[in-house]
Amino acid sequence: MLTLHHLNDSRSQRILWLLEELGTPYELKRYQRDATTRLAPPELKAVHPLGKSPVITDGDLTLVESGAIVDAILRRYGAGSGLRPAESTPAFEAYQEWLHYAEGSAMLPLMLQLYTSRLKDAAAPLQPRIDSEIANHLEFIEGALKGRQFFVGDSLTGADIMMSFVAELAGSFGRLGTYPELAAWIARMHARPAFRRSVEKGGAYRMG
């Protein structure tokens, strides 16, 4: 059976949401961050050498990286779900772009904000550049969502699953106030029954 190794307040929340959307059977193993350091517990290293989450195990497969996990789950279990556009359609290329963009480009300035915020005044020289890069990406995302309910097509896809953590992290920094399309989109995602179930099963999610 597919097993999700789930860490609180992490990217694995979107994998849990995906599994709830699909309704495919899975086992959930929960791990808690250290309350002081916010690091993952050492037990995760027994699952994968990086000691990070999300991690899935499925038979002989052990897989990390959110985008790869979303893609693998949808290829294995998502037939007929509509969550992965057909490869022969133009929508598939847009889907692939958002799937990779979420971690490949959008998350970098947000992670810099996360880490440098702990440096307080020492981070001041970097802050203008970080602010500029975050704004650049959020403006791009805002424009892409204008007039749309979802990132690709007229229904939920893995692209929305992947982009959720970007919006959530931006929201945790108070960055969504000037991006109404993005704010409305993530509110719609959080209102989905499957997302709500994922929080109930995964435990308190401060970014949700």
The tens digit of pLDDT for each residue in 65-119 reads 999 999 999 999 999 999 999 999 999 999 999 999 999 999 999 999 998 988 8
| Mean pLDDT calculated for residue range 18-44 | 94
- Whether residue 95 is found in the same domain as residue 172: yes
pTM of the model: 0.95
pLDDT of 142 higher than 80: yes
Q: Is the pLDDT of residue 122 over 80?
A: yes
User: Taking the C-alpha atoms of 36, 41, 45 and 49 in order, what is their torsion angle to the nearest 10 degrees?
Assistant: -30
Query: pLDDT tens for residues 158-193?
Result: 999 999 999 999 999 999 999 999 999 999 999 999
74 and 104 belong to one structural domain: no
The answer to whether residue 70 is domain-embedded is: yes
DSSP E strand boundaries for 75-198: none
Looking at the structure, tell me whether residues 121 and 153 fall in a common domain. Answer: yes
Identify whether residues 124 and 58 lie together within a single domain.
no
Q: Distance between CA atoms of 20 and 196, rounded to whole angstroms? A: 9
Q: How many CB atoms lie under 10 A from the CB of residue 87?
A: 10
In a domain, 132, yes or no: yes
Domain region containing 127? 90-192
Residue 110 lies in a domain: yes
CA distance 133 to 135: 5
Please count the structural domains in the chain.
Answer: 2
The pLDDT value given to residue 117: 83
Find the mean pLDDT for residues 7-21: 96
- The answer as to whether 208 is a domain residue is no
64 and 98 inside one domain: no
Q: How many helices (H) and strands (E) does the chain have?
A: 8, 4
CATH number of the domain that residue 179 is part of = 1.20.1050.10
Using CA atoms, how far residue 115 sits from 120, 122, 123, 166, in Å, is 10, 12, 9, 15
Q: Is the pLDDT of residue 38 over 90?
A: no
